[in-house]
Amino acid sequence: MTDSLLGRDTVLSHCGRHPAAHSGTVNTPVYRASTILFPTLAALDAKEGARLRYGRRGTPSTHALEDAICALESADRALAMPSGVSAISVVLMTYAEPGAHFLVVDSSYGPTRKFCNQLLQKFGVETTYYDPTKGAEIEALIRPETKLIWMESPGSQTFEVQDVAAITAVARRHGVTTAIDNTWSGGYFFQPLKLGVDISIQAGTKYISGHSDLMLGTLACTEASYEALRETYLRFGLCVGADDAFLALRGLRTMAVRMQQHNASGLEIGHWLKDQPEVLQVMHPGLPSDPYHALFAKQFSGSSGLFGFVIAETDRTNLAKMFDGFTLFGMGSSWGGYESLMTPSNPAVYRSASTWNPGGQTVRIHVGLEDPKDLMNEIRAGFDRLQPAIA
């Protein structure tokens, strides 16, 4: 399934579901399997071509999830992975070879950089990090040995929006494969393959799961890039358990309403934060005041609940007074669940081709599905606990 004439919310209710194949049950059951039996020697001999061969190579549960991911991302093919990081690693390894050159956006997720700097360097792959504001100008960085351009838009710490169509146009002219980390939009607000991207990965851990109880990665791609990616996936022996595939599909069924609420509440709180005296800057590309808004509006149909802001206070003891007193906002890694999170972040340490120096403490907020009024009351009370030092 590449695209559908149906609305996205309809697609999300029906994709990857085949009740007639499963005794009429609405949801694909949990198929726990390692061995798959073949009834005859002829069938066993023909198993090379069979979709069901062995548990590691997929079960009806994981196939249903992969079919659904294809529909979500408007892709030809998909693979389910044990984590977002495994999806990133499979893409990077597939295009790695001695002497290869990768272009990776400077605002990308920390472990993506680590994979390039630590592992790929050992295999003789050179990585150049590029400024996230580069669109067609990325052409100047492409070399004959450039094999892959990696994007992440918006950057999940600093929220710069990339000009994806401009980058894929240049990449195609030079025969360079493009990949993007699409976790922020959940694939609900943005389908990068429609803008010419070859591979879109997500931490399904975040919005596809939606409930902070699942580790999952997804990879969606064109037919042309699929076989090579699948080879890497198979060689590493990556596979997703049937229970996890079931939970991911269950999360996907409510994704449309969840994302619409994350969008509305995130925008409301982002607007409100801009007017708070403690806030120096809000990084939310969905806000018309954001420097990336025009580029964002051209590509995305809405915003998820993750964005950033900067507060003047940097003293750790004082920040603790604010953060330790929260009862609705949790502190911890990840996001994309139904619950709100807030953590101080330090994006500057993940940069080499651009700078991040906003003149205060960067904070990352995930706006969950709570009543936004309660969240704003809690943030306001937190700001009030930041006692300005008496001169």
Ligand X SMILES: *Cc1c(COP(=O)(O)O)cnc(C)c1O
Instruction: List the one residue from 205, 218, 232, 362 that touches ligand X (CB under 6 A).
Output: 205
Chain center to CA of 125: 24
DSSP string for 49-95: G-S-SBGGG--HHHHHHHHHHHHHHT-SEEEEESSHHHHHHHHHHHT
Q: Whose Cβ is closer to ligand X: residue 151's or residue 256's?
A: 151
Q: Whose Cβ is closer to ligand X: residue 170's or residue 197's?
A: 197
Please identify, among the stretches 28-36, 202-210, 283-291, 317-325, the one whose residues bind ligand X according to the rule CB under 6 A.
Answer: 202-210
Q: Whose Cβ is closer to ligand X: residue 107's or residue 265's?
A: 107
- Of 181, 198, 244, 290, the active-site residue reads 181
Instruction: List the one residue from 116, 165, 176, 203 that touches ligand X (CB under 6 A).
Output: 203
Closest distance to ligand X from the beta carbon of 295 (Å): 19
Q: Is 33 in the site for ligand X (CB under 6 A)?
A: no
Run of H or E including 295: helix 293-299
Instruction: List the one residue from 31, 95, 102, 109 that touches ligand X (CB under 6 A).
Output: 109
Q: Whose Cβ is closer to ligand X: residue 85's or residue 256's?
A: 85
> Do 316 and 389 touch, CB atoms closer than 8 A?
no
Q: Whose Cβ is closer to ligand X: residue 17's or residue 233's?
A: 233
Instruction: Spell out the residues 6+ positions from residue 338 whose beta carbon is closer than 8 angstroms to its own.
Output: 210, 211, 212, 258, 368, 369
Q: Is 107 in the site for ligand X (CB under 6 A)?
A: no
Q: Whose Cβ is closer to ligand X: residue 279's or residue 306's?
A: 306
Q: Is 233 a catalytic residue?
A: no
The neighbour count for residue 344, using CB atoms within 10 Å, is: 17
Question: Would you give the binding string for ligand X spanning residues 307-346, x where CB under 6 A is met?
Answer: ---------------------------x------------
Residues of this chain, 208-267, that bind ligand X according to CB under 6 A: 215, 217
The CA-CA-CA angle for residues 8, 12, 17, to 5°, reads 140
Distance of CA 35 to CAs 55, 66, 240, Å?
Answer: 6, 20, 15
Q: What is d(CA 307, CA 286) in angstroms, rounded to the nearest whole number?
A: 9
Instruction: Spell out the residues 6+ positions from residue 234 whose beta carbon is closer than 8 angstroms to its own.
Output: 57
Rg of the chain taking only CA atoms, in angstroms: 22
Residues of this chain, 64-83, that bind ligand X according to CB under 6 A: 83
- Of 109, 129, 292, 350, the active-site residue reads 109
Instruction: List the one residue from 16, 84, 192, 372 that touches ligand X (CB under 6 A).
Output: 84
> Do 219 and 83 touch, CB atoms closer than 8 A?
no
Please identify, among the stretches 201-209, 224-232, 266-274, 318-326, the one whose residues bind ligand X according to the rule CB under 6 A.
Answer: 201-209
Q: If we measure between CA atoms, which residue out of 59, 94, 95 comes closest to residue 80?
A: 59
Q: Is 290 in the site for ligand X (CB under 6 A)?
A: no
Chain center to CA of 374: 27
Q: Is 206 a catalytic residue?
A: yes
Name the residues that contact ligand X, by CB under 6 A.
83-85, 109, 156, 181, 183, 203, 205-206, 215, 217, 334
User: Would you name the residues annotated as active-site residues?
Assistant: 56, 109, 181, 206
